[in-house]
Amino acid sequence: MKNKKTFILVFLVLLINSLLIAQQNVFPQLYQEDVDGGEITRTEFYVGEELWGLINGGADLYLEYGLDRTLLQEVVYEEKSFRVELYGMTDVDAAFGIFSINKFNCDITDSLVKYICITPYQLQAAVGRFYFSISNQSGDRKAQKYSLHLFEKLLSKIELKNFIVPEYFQQPQFEQYQNQIKLMKGKLGLQNGFPIWEKYFSGFNDYEIILIPIKAEEGFINIALIDFSSDEDAERFSKKISLYNFQQVKSVSSNKLIVVETNFDDDQLEKFITI
């Protein structure tokens, strides 16, 4: 009897794990009934390094962050062409990181989901472990509205989870700047996300930087949480901070530092931000 109960328990655990894995591997895509009279003219999946066949020059960046697979679909609606790219990353942080360094000059940042960037020609978003890019060629209001329609259809097929802002950046003084957060992994992430800092990280590998760049009338503040792969790297960077004109705010742990780069004097910095 005891053996039977043990078997049932093990079976249930394995079943739950397999269901969770299956859920993680579910990959949303558009079907003909989703496109509201449009036509899906192309549907292709790219697994891992196969992404080189889609974006030859940029695949390494996605692989650096952690890429599972990519979906490319092309849709024609009322003689307008739409390109839907859906990048399934390994986790929520990786999807947000790719979004944070790709978005630029957003006209709208507060529609439908927390992390979204809409311009006339492109919609970008990070939801769960997915980074979305939906682009159109015309840039008119009708094309923007249809891009949102396609996004909503895909959104209905996934779990709505968001990147969680680190506790330090949840303080009230950072609230209005949270849509500027960049999550950069390694050299490629830094090159694409905040290249003016690349020189500071020469000789370091496997780091992650969560950065809020703030511009004000008085000057600028770049404040970052840096997670190094080793205590030794964190200590080595900490010793060089004065050479970089950084201030170390605090050590979160033996391999995590919070640093500030600014052209404010101490009095200005204290008035503007509490550190």
**Domains of the chain, CATH where assigned:** 2-155 (3.40.1000), 167-272 (no CATH)
Lowest mean pLDDT among 14-23, 114-123, 165-174: 14-23
186-193 and 92-102 are packed helices; what angle lies between their axes, rounded to 10 degrees? 40
Phi, psi of 96 (to 5 degrees): -65, -40
251 against 119, higher pLDDT? 119
d(CA 125, CA 96): 8
- The answer to whether the beta carbons of residues 241 and 259 sit under 8 Å apart is yes
pLDDT above 70 as % of the chain: 89
- Other Cβ atoms less than 10 A from the Cβ of 260: the count is 19
Q: What is the pLDDT of residue 55?
A: 79
Rounded mean pLDDT, 58-78: 94
Q: What is the pLDDT of residue 21?
A: 40
pLDDT band at 19 (very low <50, low <70, confident <90, very high): very low
Q: What is the pLDDT of residue 24?
A: 43
Amino acid at 112: L
Rounded mean pLDDT, 72-90: 96
pTM: 0.86
Nearest partner of 183 among 272, 60, 253, 95, judged by Cα: 95
pLDDT at residue 22 is higher than 60: no
Q: What is the pLDDT of residue 18?
A: 43
d(CA 221, CA 262): 4
Q: What is the pLDDT of residue 108?
A: 82
